[in-house]
Amino acid sequence: MARVFSAIQATGGLHLGNYLGAIKAWVDGQDEADCFYAIADLHALTIPKERGEVGAHTLELAKVLLACGLDVNRCTFFVQSHVREHSELAWLMQCVTSMGELNRMTQFKDKTQNRKFISAGLFTYPALQSADILLYDTDKVPVGEDQRQHIELARDTAERFNSRYGETFVLPVASIPRAAARVMDLQDPTSKMSKSAASEAGTIFLSDDPKAILKKFKRAVTDSESEVRFDFAEKPGVSNLLSILGAATGSDPASIASGYSQYGPLKVDAAEAVIEALAPIQARIAELDNDPSGVRAALKTGADKARKVAGVVVERAKTNIGLLVD
Ligand code: TYM
């Protein structure tokens, strides 16, 4: 059975981009592979946070991911910092990753803009991500398009490690969804949807109620024409709506376009499809609100399982490097 690994940062507010770009594939893939899914709380520390903030976001995010359908009987679901091997292998990966490679990461460039304090962790962040993936002998990494460059770096540095020290790591590949690989902001369809957008009007949060979702879609920025066509270069707003509708209903965005001659009905249909997809998740979030100890127990089970695999791989890496065994 193939091994799958993916992770999401422990920052507040899961949004529709996270869900359609990655989490939906995590949930759907649980029976098709041996899946390991983590909440990347160490990655969240690369941008300064208030004391206690990351822990609170981790618990909240765990609840939402369980509500989305992660099932601890069908996958290994855990918190990155609960498995020490992530930090340990991250150091080894930093030592086979070049400054030039890290400098080329577009996310580093994006995240440093207008920022006074740039942590060393933000720069070496991709090496920790490589460690996350390589620790589980991962074949496939389901992610949105924005993570492709990081997965390619994990593969390149794993290859370098293997050629320097002998066969150690499985070489991973990114698995990116056909529709909604890059969900765009509803107010600025040339930027990806994100929790740190200037205005919340362009971001659909998983916690948004149906009224808020409909309002955000109705106000979505399109263009001054009226033709409904799937063409991201010329018509980013309309194409984003088609892409969201396609991903939420399991259909092809380009073929849905022919069913519309105006933007209004497309906006309403996209909103309704999203409301329908999120309704069961929101109902389960409300149930899990009453069961915080169940969420913590789920994470503990996951960490115990993850440690067993990660421990073997990190020892293999140290042995192959030829560090003195204690
Ligand atoms: P993060 O937390 O930014 O995003 C989690 C997942 O959501 C996807 N995503 C999107 N997909 C489509 N459209 C969007 N607008 C959108 N925004 C986010 C991301 O591609 C991702 O799959 N560094 C990673 C977390 C991480 C990781 C890993 C991922 C840590 N270790 C190992 C894979 C493997 C991150 O910050 O994702």
Residues 212 and 244 in one domain: yes
CA-closest residue to ligand 1 atom 6: 18
Going from the Cα of 80 to the center of ligand 1, the distance in angstroms, rounded, reads: 14
Token digits for 284? 């389960």
- pLDDT score recorded for residue 196: 82
Looking up residue 29, the CATH number of its domain turns out to be: 3.40.50.620
In a domain, 193, yes or no: no
Half-sphere exposure of 116 (CA within 13 A, CB side): 1
Pocket of ligand 1 (CB under 6 A): 6-9, 17-18, 21-22, 40, 43, 129, 132-133, 141, 143-144, 146-147, 180, 182-183, 192-194
Pick out the chain residues at pLDDT < 50.
none
CA 258 to chain CA centroid, nearest Å: 31
Catalytic positions: 111, 192, 195
Same domain, 265 and 296: no
Residue 92 sits in the same domain as residue 241: no
Residue 95 alpha carbon to ligand 1 centre in Å: 24
Q: Could you tell me which of 135, 282, 306 has the C-alpha nearest to residue 204?
A: 282
Query: Does the residue 116 lie in any domain?
Result: yes
Beta-bridged to residue 37, according to DSSP, are 6, 77
Does 255 map to a domain? yes
Residues 217 and 303 in one domain: no
Domain count along the chain: 2
Buried b (16+ CB within 10 A) or exposed e, 88-121: bbbebbbebbeeebbeebeebeebeeeeeeeeee
d(CA 168, CA 207): 42
Nearest residue to 129 via CA among 3, 4, 9, 2: 9
Interhelix angle 236-249/263-289, nearest 10 degrees: 50
Query: In whole angstroms, what is the distance from residue 194 CA to residue 198 CA?
Result: 9
For residue 35, what pLDDT is reported?
A: 98
Residues of the domain holding 56: 3-180+291-321
| Phi-psi group of 257: left, alpha or beta (phi > 0 → left; psi -120 to 50 → alpha; rest → beta) | alpha
Query: In this structure, are 28 and 72 located in the same domain?
Result: yes
**Are 114 and 211 contained in the same domain?**
no
Interatomic CA distance for residues 210 and 207, integer angstroms: 10
Whole-number pLDDT of residue 280: 97
153/213 same-domain check: no
186 found inside a domain: no
- Residues 123 and 19 both lie in one domain: yes
Q: What is the pLDDT of residue 179?
A: 84
Q: Is residue 63 part of a domain?
A: yes
Scored b (16 or more CB within 10 A) or e, 178-213 reads ebbbbbbbbbbbeebbbeebeeebbbbbbebeeebb
Residue 174 sits at the vertex; the CA angle it makes with 133 and 90, to the nearest 5 degrees, is: 25
Residue 195 maps to a domain: no
Residue 258 sits in the same domain as residue 295: no
Distance, CA of 324 to CA of 73 (rounded, Å): 38
Inter-residue contact 130 to 151 (CB < 8 Å): no
Residue with CA closest to ligand 1 atom 7: 18
pLDDT of residue 211: 98
**Domain assignment of residue 189, yes or no:** no
Atom of ligand 1 nearest to the CA of 22: 22
Do residues 35 and 64 both lie within one domain?
yes
- Could you tell me the CATH number of the domain that includes residue 216? 1.10.240.10
Residues 139 and 210 placed together within one structural domain of the fold = no
**Which residue, judged by its Cα, is nearest atom 19 of ligand 1?**
144
- Those residues whose C-beta lies under 8 Å from the C-beta of residue 102, and which sit 6 or more positions away, are 108, 123, 124, 126, 127
- In the prediction, which pLDDT does 227 show? 94
Helix ranges (DSSP H) in 137-262:
148-165, 210-218, 236-249, 253-256
What region, left, alpha or beta, does residue 166 occupy, with left being phi > 0 and alpha being psi -120 to 50 degrees? left
- E strand or H helix at 17: helix 16-18
Does the residue 173 lie in any domain?
yes
Say yes or no: 25 and 60 in one domain: yes
Per DSSP, the residues of 266-291 read HHHHHHHHHHHHHHHHHHHHHHHHT-
Question: What is the DSSP code (8-state) at residue 72?
Answer: T
